[in-house]
Amino acid sequence: MNFQRNIIILFSILILLTQNACQALKPKKVSAKDFPPDPRKRVQKNIEEGKGFRLMGSKRSGTNYEFASANPLWRATLDTLDFMPLATANYSGGIVITDWYSENNSPTESVKISVRFLTNEIRSDALDINVFLKKCSQNLTNCSISKNNNDLVADLNLNILKKATKYEKEIIEKNKKDNPYVMGDPKHGDARKKKKD
């Protein structure tokens, strides 16, 4: 009985050694270069290689929360203030504040702009824009800051609203291509004309 047990153990060891020689028990070496860093591309690659599955062949769709493109007003504001360095850009707080900016030829004067979002709708009272001017002495020690809401605020507001309207039209056109069916406007009711009897 003891002899049979030893033969079984020896036979098991021989089987394991033959499997080890075939490298069935060794883990495969994997390089990070073989896998794309984007999760969507990894999933697509796995599906193409047969390592994954898709239920009923459907494509998942959901809300797209891409930074600075989900809200046309936010995107237009960032594009308009693109030439200035930003100190704060808080989407959830609804505020954009630039850092002090001055032209090369006038280092004694600098400007700072703050934009507060009052609504996500594109309309004339959607933004609260403030422009601050800082004037310093020649040695840049004695500085005074004043709020200067003049024509620059109106120009900024108009420029942002124009860009936001353009971006919103682009989004609507893109959605029409993705979904060609006629849909009503959710803000203003159904835009289709009803036939009179």
DSSP class per residue in 41-96: HHHHHHHHTTS---GGGPPP------TTTS-HHHHHHHHHTTTS-EEEEETTTTEE
Residue 182 confidence (pLDDT): 57
What is the value of pTM for the model shown? Answer: 0.55
The predicted structure's pLDDT at residue 15? 79
Single-letter amino acid code for the residue at 46: N
Q: Tell me the H-state helices in the chain.
A: 2-21, 39-48, 72-80, 151-178
Report, as ranges of residue numbers, the positions in the chain whose pLDDT lies below 50.
52-68, 189-192, 195, 197
Give the CATH number of domain 72-178; options: 3.10.450, 3.40.1630, 3.30.530, 3.40.50.
3.30.530
Those residues with Cβ within 8 angstroms of residue 167's Cβ, 6 or more apart along the chain or in another chain? 72, 75, 76
Write down the pLDDT at residue 55. 43
Contact, 133 vs 148, CB < 8 A?
A: yes
User: Bridge partners of 34?
Assistant: none
At residue 121, the pLDDT reads 87
